[in-house]
């Protein structure tokens, strides 16, 4: 099957997003859990500070 080449691909614009990165790889589940825990901790601290 022939690949479809768009003008952006031919210009190399989309290759930026496919480039390997040097930073750490994070799983989406880990990020969502961390955000949830952070939100819960902030709500608890806000409740404690309001008392």
Residue 49 lies in a domain: yes
Residue 29 lies in a domain: yes
Predicted TM-score of the model (pTM): 0.54
Q: How many domains does the chain contain in total?
A: 1
Q: What is the domain range of residue 40?
A: 24-51
CA dihedral 30, 33, 35, 41 (to 10 degrees): -140
What tokens does 37 get?
């825990």
Residue 3 lies in a domain: no
Go through the chain and tell me how many residues it has.
51
Residue 40 lies in a domain: yes
| Type and span of the H or E element at 43 | helix 28-50
For the segment 3-50, what is each residue's pLDDT rounded down to a tens digit?
Answer: 565 555 555 565 555 556 777 788 899 999 999 999 999 999 999 998
Residue 31 lies in a domain: yes
d(CA 39, CA 44): 9
Residue in this structure with the two tokens 């614009």, named with its chain if needed: 13
Q: Is 27 helix (H, G, I), strand (E, B) or coil?
A: coil
Residue 38 lies in a domain: yes
């Amino acid at each position: 099957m022939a690949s479809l080449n768009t003008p952006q691909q031919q210009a190399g614009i989309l290759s930026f997003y496919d480039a390997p990165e040097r930073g750490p790889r994070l799983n989406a589940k880990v990020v969502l859990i961390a955000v949830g825990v952070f939100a819960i901790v902030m709500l608890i601290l806000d409740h404690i500070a309001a008392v």
